[in-house]
A and B are shown apart, each in its own frame.
Chain A
Amino acid sequence: MRLSAFSGPRKGIFSFMRQDAFSKCHPLTNFVFFVGAIGFSVVFQHPLYLAASCAAGAVYLVLLNGKKSWKLIAGLVPVFFLLSALNPLFNSYGERVLFHVFGKPYTLEALFYGMAIAGIFVAMMLWFNCYSAVLTSDKFVCLFGSLIPALSLLLVMVLRMIPNLMRKARQISDARKSIGKGAGETDNFREKVADGMNILSSLTDWALEGSIVTADSMRARGYGGAKRTSFQIYRMTARDYLLLGFSILLAFIVMFAGGTEATYTPVLYIAPPGWGLAAYCLYLLIPSLLHGKEALQWRISISRI
């Protein structure tokens, strides 16, 4: 099973002006938040914490991607049940035996544990999808551009070339079809592979030839000379600092307030939740609340006109 199957190709990932307040914050603020959100989701096994994470992740994903996100969320539901049901097959600890499978006990504790694991998985998927929508490539480069300048330039160049090559691959394939050479849907495996290799060969020639021009263009514009600086399109504003401080504060409260313990097998133990849970919910809702606040402000300002 390959996990990436749970994320379809997303259109508009590059749309810069996403109308989401949190997406417009500084990449550092975004990044720190997601490290916390994903990190906590992975580590906490407490059912309430997990439920909070899944719910907040789903809400924010819907705010971000609208209709498209429902498909993903709907897809995660069966995964949740499957993973939950699967766990007791490999983990037969626990006291309350429900029934036997292949002579092994299928216990309630293990089932609960499975649900927790599945919950972690679902939360992680949701938050990673939010992460991908918010932390676009240029934000990543902004964050790490000065730390790893060569690699981030490499990344930017790769991102530039991928759509170019995809388009060219289609062009080559069309050109071959229009002289009766390309493979169609009806052809057999052998022909399809042979045609694919021909396209790949042509594509490689084209790309390598272009790379010489690109390298010339880089050197003509002074690459490889002085120490590079990097253009910052994002600036830390007062609000960014505030949000950053606030999320770090909340994260500390979550970590040290306790009440996150939960063990399932062999004995079921779930700690009574305390202030930590409240702080956790607030933390996870930061982007959604910010989004809501801005949307509300727009409503109000429109109604005034």
Chain B
Amino acid sequence: MAHFHIQDLTFQYPNAAHPSLENVSLTVEKGEYVVLCGQSGSGKTTLLRHLKNVLMPYGKRSGSICFDGTPLEQVSQHDQAAKIGFVMQNPDDQIVTDKVWHELAFGLENLGTDPKTMRLRVAEMASYFGIQDWFHREVCNLSGGQKQLLNLASIMAMQPEVLILDEPTSQLDPIAASDFLNTVRKINIELGTTVIITEHRLEDIYHSADKVVVMDQGKVIACDTPRKVGQLLWLQGHEMFAALPTPVRVFYESQGAGDCPLTVREGRSWLTAAFEHHPIAVAEPAPEPAPEKPKAPALQVKEVWFRYEKESPDILRDLSFAVPAGSLFAIVGGNGSGKSTTLKTICGICKPYRGTVEVFGKPLKAYKPKELFQNGLAMLPQDPKSLFVKKTLREDLAEMSRDKEAVAAVAETCEITKLLDSHPYDLSGGEQQRAALAKVLLTKPKLLLLDEPTKGLDSFFKQKFARILRKLQEEGITIVMVSHDVEFCAEYADLVSMFFDGQIITTDTPHRFFGQNSFYTTAANRMSRCVFRNAVTAADVAALYRANLEGKP
């Protein structure tokens, strides 16, 4: 018997012009690992929320949803709470109580579990998830990854049969994200819990899915094994193809022969096999044009030391780097290594106790208050919501500039003209990001700082965002970006720096930078380094593959 059986589900929000779900039919078997993908706004979240009565959105609905053969509305609230676990996107807001132990017990308390069973279940979960070390901690002192793990654990404590996860890692850094997804996988394999998950970052989960469901504008357009779905999307020329894992993209873009690889390992063997008896004529992508005469740096950081409190350890230690004017300069590095602090130091929010920061050749100290931020420097914060203070986007932008034409022009650049009268919180993540960027751009900056700009964006929004950055660069704006997203940096940055232990270790062009690294590099590079050199994007690898195999009989 199917675990979930959805038949002809159609749903429309009140006041919406189109249905958000249209004739969706889907069957999820017991113990399956189902990956649900699609662009933002394709109806993934709406569909997931239909799998639990208390989360169902208000609106017009038809069709049926059965859980274990019973219509969902007939399954008692108690059973739904216990058997269907739901993990949401934001790690912070899902947490209800102030202590880790209390959060773990929260669901069980609601179910009226007796104290003895509760003790046991909580202890079990804490051990299974490795939480015992921070069992007594305050929730507010946990990292994002720990918080999301706690959310998962507190749901698993109720021993659900199905685990539904709605973009659970979009707010996490890559290492925490893959830890989290591995845990989910482990639950699926070891406990047989059915998993239904949506994700932007398909790299980590695509290969292990039993079933991949692709949604587009409220319809299910594909529902099959990962390999078949890859093929289908390629044949359709669908936009979602760009979101698939690198090996799949390389395979189809290079028109490769054989079985489609899903993981880096499979990709390596596929490439090795393809070139086993074939000489490699072109081993690396065309070298990047030699940098023009080094321009005057827009930003120069010289031997900066910083710590937050007198007694605390140094966050920045002897940090030095220079950003050439007009370039897109990316800083990559681990979590908590001080990248965001670097940006704050450049803004003057954190004051270094040694060293200087020069913006356009003038030390920060020489700027008058706020002079720096007029036609000078501006930063887009990690959470774009931090910048919204008004009821509508229009009012928010008006706070920055009275000039209506300037506002219209910036809105055009950031592709938010249609959204100007919405409440900032009614926008999607990608739209919020661009709206915040518009606000920042109204200061007419010449140096733009971006803190994790691609966090939580899907591949489609990332491309859009990249286009905007290119446009800004053409206008002569220098961009410094701090990011975890190596794939994004590899594709769009002019220079990439590695940040470690409070300083910048090395700076180079993306090809040379990621070509040299063996761990901290893109999937395309990891996959192709056995045959090619310095190929860092899927397009690089595909181009080399074709260049080498063309002319082959």
Contact = CB atoms under 8 A, between A and B. Distances in A.
A160 B97 contact: yes
A218 B113 CA distance: 16
Contact of A180 (B77, B158, B374): B374
A178 B118 contact: no
Chain A interface main SS type: helix
B52 A220 contact: yes
B122 A231 contact: yes
A7 interface: no
Contact of A171 (B370, B381, B449): B381
Nearest to B384: A175
Interface string B72-112: 00000110011000101010111111110110011111111
B154 interface: yes
A178 B140 contact: no
Contacts of A233: 101-102
Contacts of A178: 344, 347, 349, 373, 378-379, 381, 449
A66 interface: no
Contact of A160 (B77, B96, B379): B96
A230 B109 contact: yes
A14 interface: yes
Contacts of B464: none
B158 A227 contact: no
A229 interface: yes
Contacts of B439: 179
B369 A186 contact: yes
Interface stretch (B172-180, B385-393, B472-480, B482-490): B385-393
A231 B158 contact: no
Nearest to B86: A220
A156 B98 contact: yes
B336 interface: no
Nearest to B139: A160
Given A164-B140, A179-B440, A225 B373 contact: no
B349 A177 contact: yes
Q: Which 3 A-B pairs have the closest CB atoms?
A: A180-B373, A222-B81, A231-B105
Interface residues of B, number: 70
Interface string A144-173: 000000000100110110011001100110
Question: Which of B98, B136, B151 has the most chain A CB within a 10 Å cutoff?
Answer: B98
A226 B78 contact: yes
A229 B112 contact: yes
Contacts of A19: none
A74 interface: no
Interface in A176-230: 176-181, 184, 186, 198-199, 201-202, 205-206, 209-211, 213-214, 216-230
Contact of A229 (B86, B109, B136, B138): B109
A231 B387 contact: no
Given A213-B93, A217-B151, A221-B155, 9 more contacts: A17-B136, A156-B99, A179-B378, A180-B378, A217-B93, A219-B55, A222-B158, A226-B112, A229-B114
A14 B385 CA distance: 30
A16 interface: yes
Nearest to B119: A231
Contacts of A201: 389-390
Interface in B333-383: 344, 347-349, 369-370, 372-374, 378-379, 381, 383
A141 B114 CA distance: 18
B282 interface: no
Question: Which of A178, A214, A229 has the most chain B CB within a 10 Å cutoff?
Answer: A178
Nearest to A206: B385
Interface of A: 14, 16-17, 137-138, 141, 153, 156-157, 159-160, 163-164, 167-168, 171-172, 174-181, 184, 186, 198-199, 201-202, 205-206, 209-211, 213-214, 216-233
Contacts, number: 175
B115 interface: yes
B505 interface: no
Contact of B102 (A199, A216, A231): A231
A137 B136 CA distance: 13
A211 B90 CA distance: 12
B90 A210 contact: yes
A181 B86 CA distance: 39
A68 B447 CA distance: 46
B425 interface: yes
A225 B111 CA distance: 7
A223 B108 CA distance: 10
B92 A222 contact: no
A163 B140 contact: yes
Contacts of B221: none
B400 interface: yes
A222 B77 contact: yes
Interface in B125-157: 136-140, 151, 154-155
B443 interface: yes
Nearest to B445: A179
Nearest to A169: B386
Contact of A222 (B105, B111, B443): B111
Given A226-B110, A231-B115, A172 B386 contact: yes
A156 B102 CA distance: 9
A177 B373 CA distance: 9
A153 B99 CA distance: 12
B412 interface: no
Contacts of A153: 97
Contacts of A209: 425
Interface string B220-235: 0000000000000000
Given A172-B386, A186-B369, A225-B110, A210 B378 contact: no
Contacts of B96: 156-157, 160, 214, 217-218
A221 B97 CA distance: 13
B102 A138 contact: yes
Interface string B495-539: 000000000000000000000000000000000000000000000
Nearest to B396: A202
Question: Which of A172, A218, A222 has the most chain B CB within a 10 Å cutoff?
Answer: A222
Nearest to B442: A179
A213 B379 contact: no
B399 interface: yes
Question: Which of B101, B109, B139, B344 has the most chain A CB within a 10 Å cutoff?
Answer: B109
A120 to B, nearest CB: 34
Contacts of A138: 98-99, 102
Contacts of A228: 109-110, 112
Contacts of B102: 138, 141, 156, 231, 233
